[in-house]
Structure 1
Amino acid sequence: MRKLAPIILAFVLFLSGTKAHADQIVLIHGYLGEAYSWQASGVVPILESRGWPLADLLLPNPPWILPVQRPDTAKAPAAKHTVHLAQLPSLAPLALQAVILEAELQQLGRAHPGQEMILVGHSAGGVVARLALIRHQLPPVKALITIAAPHLGTPRAESALDAISDPWPLEVIKEFFVGGPYPLLRESSGLLFDLTRPFPGSLLFALNNTPHPDIRYISLIRSQPFAFGDTLVPGFSQDMNQVPALHGKSQVTLIPGDHPLHPGDGWALERILRELTKPQ
């Protein structure tokens, strides 16, 4: 029996170590998106097909965590690492979204104590995740992956603000007759201001010059023929290495396509997540 004791102890330590190193992958949508954008785009189905099951939806209010409903005949696949979808008010200013994301991640951390998180943010969701990170109120985070995120803002936000800056009564006339995206842009004017190119005193300027946690940073940058970036966000703005506080700290991966999420993001994420979660 004494000879078996070291073997039993080693086995117990192995099992406890396996549990402690499980990672929770949190997908954070962007402007005009929602949690299920990750499913509709094909990203979640690809991750699930490769062994990264979707576990639940993170809500900004109680019950906070809503388990995914599966058909009675379908069992949730057993997996060490699971995927969670964060739901945010995508028209709200960045700071408000960051506070809500922080609350959701704290609830997730309580549900999975001792486990690390990998945050994945698309578009403005990547900036929201960075803003939450620098507040240092989150459970342990291993890495941040951003997809087509406007870390240095976008001229498109400035153009949108110009379009809704008409004086009264022209503003009222436009709102009544034009419709379309005009009311939507007005409702999200605070967010659009946050996403303008950084200048002293702006939120992005402060964020980009604030020390960030010492974790892994990975920038997924859109690429077009003969150019980096997409129709909404320039390529250099999608690169976290261009952020003064993160200069030289981000891994870069180029993903062909335009700004919206697409299946190529799922395949790229699967490769990156496999590398981030492999046993050390």
Structure 2
Amino acid sequence: MKKLMLLITIIGLVVVRAANADVLVLVHGYLGTAQSWAESGTLDRLYQRGYRQVGIYGYSPQGMVYQRLGKPDAARPVYAVNLPSQAPIVIQADWLAAFLRDIGKRHPEQAINLVAHSAGGLAARMALVRHGALGVKHLITIATPHFGTGRAIQALDATNNGGMFGFVKSWLVRRSTGDALYATVLQSRGVLFDLTPPIPGNLLFWLNQQPHPDITYTSIMRTGTFYMPGDQVVPPLSQDLNRVPALAGRVKTYSMAEGHLLTPADGDLIGNLLATGATTRKSP
């Protein structure tokens, strides 16, 4: 009888642990995809910690697309999303909000940890500002341009073909970059405007003043070393979410001597940050 009770207790603990495990949602950056986390080695490090990818969310003209990869009742379920990364941040945010709502329906008792790379961090913040917490308890941004990047200004200028000699400029830039890259940047002008440094009237100026949900915020900054120049896409200070007026004093910030792209070390840091244990989802 004692052995039977012990077995029942152990099974009960395992079930409770699985039921209460947090959900991890991964958001890529500009020109990334849901596969960016696997291709960079980040997902492999998370797998070593017991996380398992169970699904991928995407978008289509017909609406949301879901690809199941595993059982959603995995001990540490992971979802990756595909966003229209060349579209304005608001459009990306609304898609992300739809994905998070659907994930919430699949895991009604579990909290969501949202991890976003680069411009995906702005889409994540915009989703939370426009739609509320959506079941998210922790937002982690990696190399996100919370205060914009001069690279966006350069790209916009390079593809601005207005004026008397615009066609000449267009020809010169195409010759230098190649038609494919030029077309990609030209199609991205909507999001590039959103990635310019905050000034009155633009998106980042507005977003950085807005109230954000009462959840945990963490920003991971890419900094250089004597041997490594660091992030050449987004200045380190722009990545510091704690400098955002609406979140000042509420953000934990960590520095990594890496470039802008995702690395396996990101998986280790994400795992460490989330190792504090599972949390039951708060009521809206």
- 2:263 maps to 262
Structure 1 stretch displaced more, 16-25 or 134-143: 16-25
State whether structure 2 residue 39 is matched by structure 1 residue 40.
yes
Which of 116, 119, 122 is equivalent to 2:114? 119
Query: Aligned partners of 1:267, 1:156: CA distance in 2, in Å?
Result: 29
- 2:191 maps to 191
**Which aligned pairs between 1:134-173 and structure 2 lie closer than 5 A?**
134-137=129-132, 139-167=134-162, 170-172=165-167
- 1:57 maps to 56
Task: Tell me the SS of whatever aligns to 1:157.
Answer: helix
- 1:29 maps to 28
- Contact 1:122–1:146 (8 Å) recurs in 2: yes
Query: Aligned partners of 1:233, 1:190: CA distance in 2, in Å?
Result: 18
The one-letter amino acid of 2:220's match is L
Query: Aligned partners of 1:22, 1:276: CA distance in 2, in Å?
Result: 8
- Contact 1:31–1:123 (8 Å) recurs in 2: yes
- Contact 1:116–1:140 (8 Å) recurs in 2: yes
The one-letter amino acid of 1:55's match is V
- 2:67 maps to 66
Query: Aligned partners of 2:201, 2:276: CA distance in 1, in Å?
Result: 38
Query: Aligned partners of 2:277, 2:243: CA distance in 1, in Å?
Result: 23
Going from structure 1 to structure 2, the CA distance change for 1:171 and 1:277 (only over 3 Å counts) comes to farther
- Contact 2:72–2:106 (8 Å) recurs in 1: no
- Contact 1:224–1:257 (8 Å) recurs in 2: yes
Task: Tell me the SS of whatever aligns to 1:103.
Answer: helix
Cα deviation for residue 119 of structure 1 reads: 0.4
Q: Which runs of 4+ in 1 moved over 6 A?
A: 10-16
Cα deviation for residue 253 of structure 1 reads: 1.2
Task: Tell me the SS of whatever aligns to 1:60.
Answer: strand
Query: Aligned partners of 1:224, 1:276: CA distance in 2, in Å?
Result: 32
Structure 1 stretch displaced more, 174-183 or 150-159: 174-183
Aligned-residue sequence identity (percent) comes to: 42
Going from structure 1 to structure 2, the CA distance change for 1:78 and 1:17 (only over 3 Å counts) comes to closer
Task: Tell me the SS of whatever aligns to 1:236.
Answer: helix
- Contact 1:222–1:228 (8 Å) recurs in 2: no
- Contact 1:229–1:236 (8 Å) recurs in 2: no
Going from structure 1 to structure 2, the CA distance change for 1:217 and 1:46 (only over 3 Å counts) comes to same
- 2:124 maps to 129
State whether structure 2 residue 245 is matched by structure 1 residue 244.
yes
TM-score normalised to structure 1 length: 0.86
Query: Aligned partners of 1:140, 1:171: CA distance in 2, in Å?
Result: 48
Cα deviation for residue 104 of structure 1 reads: 1.1
- Contact 2:97–2:131 (8 Å) recurs in 1: no
Task: Tell me the SS of whatever aligns to 1:275.
Answer: coil
Query: Aligned partners of 1:43, 1:186: CA distance in 2, in Å?
Result: 30
The one-letter amino acid of 1:46's match is R
Cα deviation for residue 241 of structure 1 reads: 0.5
Cα deviation for residue 163 of structure 1 reads: 1.0
Task: Tell me the SS of whatever aligns to 2:137.
Answer: strand
Query: Aligned partners of 2:126, 2:73: CA distance in 1, in Å?
Result: 33
Cα deviation for residue 222 of structure 1 reads: 0.5
After superposition, the C-alpha distances for 1:66-87 in whole angstroms (9 at most, x for unaligned) are 1127xxxxxx798422111011
Quote the RMSD (CA, aligned, Å): 2.9
**Which aligned pairs between 1:60-99 and structure 2 lie closer than 5 A?**
60-61=59-60, 64-68=65-69, 79-99=74-94
Cα deviation for residue 264 of structure 1 reads: 1.2
- 2:98 maps to 103
Task: Tell me the SS of whatever aligns to 1:232.
Answer: coil
Query: Aligned partners of 1:150, 1:20: CA distance in 2, in Å?
Result: 35
- Contact 2:194–2:204 (8 Å) recurs in 1: yes
The one-letter amino acid of 1:207's match is L
If asked which structure has higher relative contact order (CA below 8 Å, sep 6+), I would say 2
- 2:276 maps to 275
TM-score normalised to structure 2 length: 0.84
- Contact 1:102–1:138 (8 Å) recurs in 2: no
Task: Tell me the SS of whatever aligns to 1:277.
Answer: coil
Cα deviation for residue 114 of structure 1 reads: 2.1
- Contact 2:161–2:170 (8 Å) recurs in 1: no
